[in-house]
Each structure stands twice: as C-alpha cells, then as structure tokens.
Structure 1
C-alpha cells in the first residue's frame, strides 16, 4: 500500500490552487509541471518505490497535456463570453 504523507496532500492542494488561479501561459504550464513531478518524486521516494526518469517524463507529459486542455477550454470559454 502506498502511504500519502501530509506534505504530499498539501503540495497537491497547492498545485491545484495554482492551476485554478493561473493564466496557464506556456512558461507557467512548464513551472507547474515541474512542481507536479517534484511532488510525485517525493511520494515515490517516501514509499521507497523505484522509478526511472523516463517514467517521470511520461507522467510530466500527461500533466502537460491536461494543462494545455484546461487552457484551451478557458480560452474557448472566454471567446464565447466575448461573443455574448
């Protein structure tokens, strides 16, 4: 079973808040994905789970894709509001 330290939970909460409050510019997306990977690394190391850099890169890419999707949805919603 994987243990979730309080620090991990707090970090996830902060990252989610940052995503919601951010304009998600390209630089900001990269910064948030870096924070996400550091959080995941911490969890894996806390639980003494071995991982490869390639696996972390895959996780980072998935997170980047999701942030891009959020940004596109926000942009689309903003354009829809402007039309109204």
Structure 2
C-alpha cells in the first residue's frame, strides 16, 4: 500500500519538498510508517521527526486524511491512499 506524507510549516522547509509517498506492507500502522521514514532517512528529517531516543517527537502534530488529529502514541492502522500531514508547532508574538 502507499501512504502520502505531507510536510507542513518548518518540517516542509527542512525537507525541501511538499510531500513524499511511502510504500508500506498491507495492515501497516502509523508507527510502521514513522519507522520506515526513520530507517530510510527520508529527506534527512530524522533530527526533526525523532527525539534523542529515536522516538517520534511529541512536539509534532499529525493529521490523517486532512481531518483527524492523531498523536504519535495512537499507533492507528493505515489504509492504502491515506494522507498523513506532519506539522511543527508555530509560535509567534
């Protein structure tokens, strides 16, 4: 199955691309997707997406199919064609 990963805000700036498509085995989960991104060092984003213990950074925001917010610890199942968007929090004043 193929899952599209959209990069937003600072994650997009760091990646240098808007999105990537990641091929995963059927019945993969969100954690499987993030492990695949980490293992392949997709666009050298590991320092942004993962903490010093190689866990998904808790400071990031994730949505699935542009509607439902998910947390890294939710480990939801994914389907072919799902779209995961990754945002870094924006602060300002």
- Length-normalised TM-score, structure 2: 0.29
More strand by share: 2
Question: Which of these two proteins has the greater Rg computed from alpha carbons?
Answer: 1
More helix by share: 1
Higher normalized contact order (CA 8 Å, seq sep 6+, divided by chain length): 2
- Length-normalised TM-score, structure 1: 0.30
